[in-house]
Amino acid sequence: MVAHITYLSENSIELKFGRRLQDSEEYAFSMQKETEFQIESYLHYQGKRFVQRFDANSYLYLTRMMDYFNLAEGSGSLAEALDKSRCRFFVASYDTDWLFPTSQSRELVSALLEVKRHVSFLELRCPFGHDSFLIDLDPLAALVSPFLDRAMDGAG
């Protein structure tokens, strides 16, 4: 449930739920009530769905590996690590993504430019946070498809 919050943006949570109550017009002021707010009901539902579809421990391992991963380790810097690559890069980010913020994408792009690699970058505006790429597919597909087509044709 906690992880799911990072997939959404503050704006999308506010628009979808605000401070609306689940089954009442007035606050219960009770710690015994498990889902007083609509957001709580949604998070409980998503949490239950998640553990039905995934081994909960797999999520712990994946997040730990993401924390450990450092592309620059052993290379001196991110730019030096990327200097070994010979491909074209397309980096896209979403302005409301808390999990992989645009600042990290810009850091990657800067390192690629430092070593004179071909890189295209675009920050997409979308209110859905990290889940934007799952919810609003068309804008990203319109950018990725031509990039991949060029790469497959050998032009990239």
Q: What is the pLDDT of residue 108?
A: 97
- pLDDT tens, position by position, 122-136: 999 998 888 899 888
Smallest CA-to-CA distance from 94 within 66, 128, 69 is with 128
Contacts of 68 (CB under 8 A, 6+ apart): none
% of the chain beyond a pLDDT of 70: 97
Amino acid 156: pLDDT: 53
Beta strands in the chain (DSSP E): 89-94, 119-124
- pLDDT reported for residue 35: 79
Among the ranges given (11-15, 81-85, 129-133), the one the predictor scored with the smallest mean pLDDT = 11-15
According to the model, what pLDDT value does residue 121 have?
Answer: 97
Structural contact between residues 109 and 144, judged by C-beta atoms closer than 8 angstroms? no
Q: Cα–Cα distances in Å, from 142 out to 131, 138, 152?
A: 17, 6, 16
Could you tell me if 73 and 103 are in contact, meaning their C-beta atoms sit under 8 angstroms apart? no
Mean pLDDT of 127-148: 91
| Confidence (pTM) | 0.72
114 touches 72 (CB < 8 A): no
| Chain segment 24-74, per-residue pLDDT in tens | 887 777 777 777 888 888 888 888 888 888 887 887 888 889 889 999 999
